[in-house]
A and B are shown apart, each in its own frame.
Chain A
């Protein structure tokens, strides 16, 4: 009896420890774990694993499927301050897995709006399910969780940062981070760096300012807050706004996780579009730091440098797409670089020590809003393509040439992979007031030319190969591996493996829905797994033993 008790208490202690995330995991490429949104801090989504490779990818087989059942299910752990829901959730966003699951010590952790799960990464069995009774907010998506030791963090549509015990799924605390009634909502996956939990916000229906906050992982207390805009005359960037009123209502949401360079101690973040969204009359100027890539000191939140891909944006082309950290030689010299495939249709390569442009190159042929590229690497917006009462024809659409789904950089090919689409819209000015509100203009779809999976040579900006989809395509999550494989979705319900060197198709599997997150991979018990979220299900693949 005593022995049994001892064993069981020992097991519990070990289980407790086994759940813990070793912080060192966060600073090296993931192999036996996927401990943060991008797998590691670089945002490359390149895995060094080679068990699954070109020679055997045809033998990939389904290991398990996990389907989500959000809402107050019989075993759900319930939190939140909202009213008791009437029946199961109805918003499709709640049933769509946009999160890249964390995988730590054999357990997957992921979330959809108002819901979080722990799932055995070997078997696909649910360990716990947490559901949040919310007060509203947009349920368009949730990009996942962050982890610190034994604690998990995720954001809710009604703007709470919630911390859970990874072992039990029980809530530790929650903190309100933004005002729901101002139309803020929250979707981003918190990123944990050192003892900072970085959280951001979404929402551009009304003219509200964006920000990034660092919270204490133990207590949830706020450590620092960085606003996407200057707050008053004299603040850095104030000269890019006409007045304080415009800048304090200037948008700049922080809804996609950034990347981090531990040596430079900088967090790289893409910021959202300015407000009012589709008309710039009340915000003449470049509108810093909206539509920007910013480098922030992770301990203080102080801005180190910025680069603005879309000065004075008037088309909803935020710059939130993953800033991917790339180490490569340029002109024979090793460089610390940052690449971004931007919603506005350009690929940007920067020096990540100082934000200076290395290269700017167009990704799509239909783009018609820019008059060229300035010497500093910034596109020059054509003012004639800002919404007018009688309409202007613009490509890309507001959804952009690409969007939030994570791209990938493969250091072995030197190619940057991204899903793009070529579409046109008419933009009509609808609010002629000198101080328009919200979007201020209307968009109408004017035509599609399909989409592409593109492989961009980071050193030249040239598209080395592309796979064209006449009817589908568009932004899509991508994973590359040292097994010389690229995994992504094709917009026709398939998970597809491409040869990253030339775009040849090597393997595919039909799923019940389209890929809705970034695929990931890890090793467990000597077996390499490939995980993909498609609609309401996670799919796990591995090789036949």
Chain B
């Protein structure tokens, strides 16, 4: 489920348009979320694992020359609190060439926590850590900013973007130029601004402009500069509605960026400390 994030108030209306589209890509919406494992036990378990098991199963438990990948092991997946892992460690698997390991109950519990925690990390994709994305050429990024991208027609590195590289992590910064927030504060006195505004043109010639509250084929509603709410029935496209997006240039860039442009621009913007 995701929001187009264009409207200030009726997020529920907008979110749901996309709700059915999310298909089979849930995050962690199970009845019983995976338990959290004690990080100290996980760390201890890792050390014990690397020493006792890593030679065959690999230091990350993903398998080595002799031992299988334990993160995809059905035995490990089905295990609860060491009830399957423990006996195998203690008795070994002579038929498969695995010796027995006389580990203590706590060592077994720690290894179990390490293995289950590693699986949990693979499952929980919303928590995957994004690595170093600053690989571009800052000079090429500056050229793009002032040239092909026309970024400088609205932005200034000495003005609104001053210090932007210190304000955000690179991945956040990149996300903000690809898909900027629709709401921000500006002006004197400071006031909230919505990038999207609508103008409703009545057949009488009267028109209303403001922040959209709803927009569909049957109704358009807005809040004007004075905060007054106006709502209109629509039929066959009447009254006519114009949608203005102050961030339209960002939307249009999406089909024009190369990935190198994105990397270079990111590398340039992070230098604006």
Contact = CB atoms under 8 A, between A and B. Distances in A.
A521 interface: no
Contacts of A398: 25
A138 B22 contact: no
B18 to A, nearest CB: 5
B251 interface: yes
Interface residues of B, number: 63
A421 B122 contact: no
A179 B74 contact: yes
A496 B24 contact: no
Contact of A474 (B6, B18, B29): B18
A430 B178 contact: no
B220 to A, nearest CB: 11
B222 to A, nearest CB: 13
Interface string B140-182: 0000000000000000000000000000000100110011000
Contacts of A470: 215, 243
Nearest to A424: B254
Interface bin, chain A = 35 or more
Interface in B1-23: 2, 4, 6-7, 13-14, 16-23
Contact of A446 (B69, B179, B216, B217): B179
Interface in B48-75: 60, 62-63, 69, 71-72, 74
Contact of A428 (B25, B71, B131): B131
B201 interface: no
- Please indicate which of the listed interface residues B6, B29, B74, B255 has the most CB atoms of chain A within 10 Å of its own CB: B255
Interface of B: 2, 4, 6-7, 13-14, 16-26, 29-32, 60, 62-63, 69, 71-72, 74, 77-78, 119, 122-123, 125, 128-136, 171, 174-175, 178-179, 214-218, 236, 243, 250-251, 254-255, 257, 259, 262-263
Q: Lowest 9 A-B CB distances belong to which pairs?
A: A491-B17, A472-B17, A438-B122, A492-B216, A437-B122, A474-B21, A514-B16, A403-B23, A430-B128
Given A445-B179, A447-B254, A508-B217, 19 more contacts: A98-B20, A136-B32, A181-B78, A206-B123, A320-B24, A343-B23, A391-B174, A395-B254, A403-B20, A435-B62, A435-B63, A438-B125, A447-B251, A448-B179, A449-B254, A471-B6, A493-B13, A508-B218, A514-B17
30 contacts: A136-B30, A136-B32, A137-B31, A179-B77, A182-B74, A187-B24, A202-B24, A366-B254, A393-B254, A393-B257, A398-B25, A403-B22, A404-B20, A426-B174, A428-B131, A428-B171, A432-B131, A437-B62, A438-B123, A442-B130, A447-B254, A469-B216, A470-B215, A472-B14, A472-B18, A474-B21, A492-B17, A494-B217, A494-B218, A514-B20
